[in-house]
Structure 1
Amino acid sequence: MAEASTLVDRAIGRVHDRNVQPTCTSDGGFAENRTMLLALTALALLAIGLFMTLGARGSWAFVLSYRGTKLAAIVLVGHAIAVSTVLFQTISANRILTPSIMGFDWLYRLLQTALVFSAGAAFTVTIDSVLLFAVETAILVGFACLLYGTLLSSHARDIHRLLLIGFVLGVLFRSLAELMQRLIDPNDFVVLQDLMFASFNTVDVSLLGVAALVIGAATLATARLLPTLDVLALGRDTAISLGIAHRRTTLLVLALCALFVAVSTALVGPVTFFGLLVASLARSLVGSRRHAVMLLAASLCAVIALVGGQTILERGLGYNSALGMVVEFAGGIVFLALLLKKGTA
C-alpha cells in the first residue's frame, strides 16, 4: 500500500493536468480536506440525530427500533450508490455517467414486471423476500459480469463500446418492460408500481443484515484498491506504464460497481440520478482526486441528502411526497447542468 501510494504521488507530480492536485501527500489527501470532511461528518450526524429524535412520541424503544431500521437502509443504499458512481466515473473517465447507463435500473424493472406478468401480484407478494433479493442480486451481477467479461479486451476503446451497448440494452429492457406493463392486469399493475420505484418506507428488515454484509465486503475490497484507483484516474496509458494490470483491474472495479448497484437496487429499488448528484457535490466540495477522500465525501453527502431529505418529508411535509422522486428531480437538474457546462467549456 505504501509503495503504491508513493507511485501515485510521483505520477501526479509528473502529469500536468489542471484537474490534478500536485500537492497531494502520502496521507491520502486528508490533510488539506480535513475541515470539509469534519463539516460533512457533523452534518451527517446532525441529520441522523434529527431523523431519530424529531417528533418522537410514545415508547422510545419502539421509535428507535422503527426509525433505526429505516436509517440503516438509507445509509446502506446511500453509501453503495455514492461509491459505485465514483468508481464508475473513474473507470469510464467521464463525470456525467453513472452505473445506471448500463441498464441496471431497467433490468430491475423488467425483472419485477416479468414476475408480476407471469405469476401475478398475489403470488409475487408471497415470495420469500430473502430468496427474491438473492435472485435479483445474482441476476443483476451476472448480467454485469457477462457484459463486462465479453466486451472488455485489451483495446482502449472497449470501455466506450461497453457504455454504448449498455445503453442500448437499457433501452431494450425498458421497451420490454413497458410492453408487458401494457398487457398486465390493472390490479396487478398497481402492485407493480410500488415495486418499481425506490422507497425507504417499506424496507424488509430481514434483508438488512444480508445487504450490510455484502456492501461491507465490497467496501473492504474497494479500500484495498484505493492507491490503484488513484493511478487509474490518471489514464489508461499512465496506469499501464506504472505497472497496473489495466484490464483485470477494470473488470474488478466494474464488478464491485455491479455488486453495489445490484444490492442497493434490490433493497429499495432503482435511483437513477442520485449517484451523479452526490458525486458531483462531493467533487466540488473537496476538490481532490484522491479516492480515499472522494469516496468518503460522496458517502457523507449521500447520507446527508437521503437522511435529511427523509426527515424533511416525514416531519415537515407529512409524507406528501416520495423521497425517490425528489432525488431524481434534483439529480436530473444536476445532469443537465453538467451537460450544458461541458458543452460550453
Structure 2
Amino acid sequence: MEKNMLKKFLGISIIAGILFLAIIFLFYDSDMDFNYIIPHRMLRLATIIVSGICIANSSIIFQTITNNHLLVPSVMGYEAIYLVWQSLLILLFGTASIPFLGSLGIFVSSTIIVLVYALALHKYIFPLCKGDMYTFLLFGFIISLVLITSSQIIQLSINPGEYSVLQGMIQTSFNRADITTLVITMTIATASIFIIKNSLRILDVIVLGEYHAKSLGVNYSSYLNLWLVIIAILTAISTSLIGLTAFIGIFISNLTYSLTNSAKHKHILPLASLLTILIFMITELLVEHFFNYKITVNILVNLVCGTYFFLILLFKKNHV
C-alpha cells in the first residue's frame, strides 16, 4: 500500500513539474504575444510531448524484448539510416532541398526511408537469424556501423557551408515541426500507443524470456514481430520529428526502472514518458534561456545521458 502511494506521489509530482515548466516555457519572456510567440511555443511544446512519448515507449519495449537495459533502438541502425538520408539530400540537392521539400516533405521522406529500412531488416535479415534476437541485434549493430561510416564518407563531399546546414538538420531540435507534421505524428503515435496499451500484460510475460513466455501460452514469434514493427514506427517518427537522440533512451529507461522498482509495464511506460517529457523541457529551457542557444539540446542531453550510461557500465553491472 505504501509503495502504491509513493508511486502515485511520484507520478503526481512529475506531472506537476511538467505543468509548471510548461507555463514557464509558454509565457516567460513572451510579452504575451498570442499572435506568434505563444502559438509557436505551443507547437514546440506539443512536439516535446509527442517525441517524448515515442522515445520512451520504443526504448522500454525494445529493452523488454531484448532483455537488456543497455540497448536502445538506434543499435539497429534506425538513426544511422536517417543520418545517411539527410546527408544524401544535402549532397545531391544542396540546401535547396530544404525549401523544395519543406519540413513536411523532409519529415515524410525520412519516415518512409526509416520504415523501409526497418521492413528490409524484418523481412530479409530476421528470418536468417531463425528467431535468435541476439544474432539479429548483431546484424543491426554491424549494419549501423556501416551506415554511419557511409554517412561520414558522404559528408566529406559536402562543402563547409552545406555541412553546417546538415548539422542543424540532424541535431535534436523541437523547432522543425509544423502543424501538419505534428498532426500526422500524433495520429500514428496514438494508434501505436493504443496497440501497446491493449498488450501490456503480454509485455509483462515477454520480459520473463522466450522460454517462460511460450510455456505460459504466449505466441512469442508473432508478438516479437509486432513489437519490432511498433518500435520501428515510433523510432521513425520521433527521429524524423526531432532528429538524433542517442543516449536519452538508456537514461530514461534505467531511471524509470530505479524509481518504479516494478516489472509491470502499466507502471513503467507512463512514468518513462513523463520523465522524457520533463527532461526535454528542462534541457530546452536551459538551452534557450540559460545558454542562450550557444549549445544545442542534443549536446546537453548526450552529455548528461552519456555520463549516466558510463556510470551504469562502471558501477551497475547487474543492470545488463
Distance in 1 between the 2:201 and 2:107 partners? 33
How big is the alpha-carbon RMSD for the aligned residues of Structure 1 and Structure 2? 2.2
Post-superposition shift, 1:141? 1.5
Give the AA of the match of 2:97: F
Change (3 A) 1:31 1:231: farther
Q: Deviations over 1:227-262 (max 9, x none)?
A: 110010111111101111101101111111111110
Trace 1:306-321 onto structure 2 (pairs within 5 A). 306-321=280-295
**More displaced, 138-147 or 150-159?**
150-159
Q: What is residue 233 of structure 2 aligned with on the other side?
A: 259
Structure 2 residues without counterparts, runs of 5 or longer = none
**Map of 1:162 onto structure 2:** 136
Match of 1:46 among 12, 20, 31: 20
Distance 1:274 1:344, change over 3 A: closer
Report how far residue 167 of structure 1 moved: 0.6
Shift of 1:343: 4.1
> What is the DSSP-based 3-state SS (H/G/I as helix, E as strand, rest coil) of the residue aligned with 1:125?
helix
User: Is residue 2:215 matched to residue 1:233?
Assistant: no
Q: How big is each residue's C-alpha offset from its partner over 1:46-84, in whole Å with a ceiling of 9 and x where there is no partner?
A: 221221122231424533212101101111111111110
Q: In the alignment, what sits opposite 2:259?
A: 285
Match of 2:43 among 53, 58, 69: 69
Consecutive unaligned residues of structure 1, counting only runs of 5 or more, are: 1-22, 24-28
1:109 aligns with 2:77: no
Residue in structure 1 matching 2:249, options 262, 272, 275 = 275
Choose the corresponding residue for 1:199, options 162, 169, 173: 173
Say which one has the larger Rg.
1
Q: Is the 8 A contact 1:149 1:251 kept in 2?
A: no
Aligned to 2:160: 186
1:126 aligns with 100
How far apart are residue 153 of structure 1 and its match? 5.1
SS at match of 1:72: helix
TM-score, with structure 2 as normaliser: 0.93
CA distance in 1 between counterparts of 2:109 and 2:120 reads 16
My pick for the range that moved more, 175-184 or 133-142, is 133-142
| TM-aligned CA distance change 1:95 to 1:56, over 3 Å | same
Moved more, 258-267 or 122-131: 122-131
Give the TM-score, by structure 1 length: 0.86
- Shift, 1:337, TM fit: 1.5
Q: Does 1:87 align with 2:42?
A: no
Q: CA deviation at 1:213?
A: 0.8
CA apart distance, 1:35: 2.0
Tell me if structure 1 keeps the 8 A contact 2:32–2:38.
Answer: no
- The one-letter code sitting in structure 1 at the alignment partner of 2:174 is F
Does the CA contact (< 8 Å) of 1:113 and 1:192 recur in 2?
yes
What code does the residue aligned with 1:234 have? L
Q: Distance in 2 between matches of 1:286 and 1:219?
A: 20
Equivalent pairs, count:
318
State the partner residue of 1:324. Answer: 298
Alignment of 1:138 onto 2:128: no
2:82 and 2:113 in contact (8 A); partners too: no
- SS in structure 2 of the partner of residue 120 of structure 1: helix
CA distance in 2, matches of 1:213, 1:117: 32
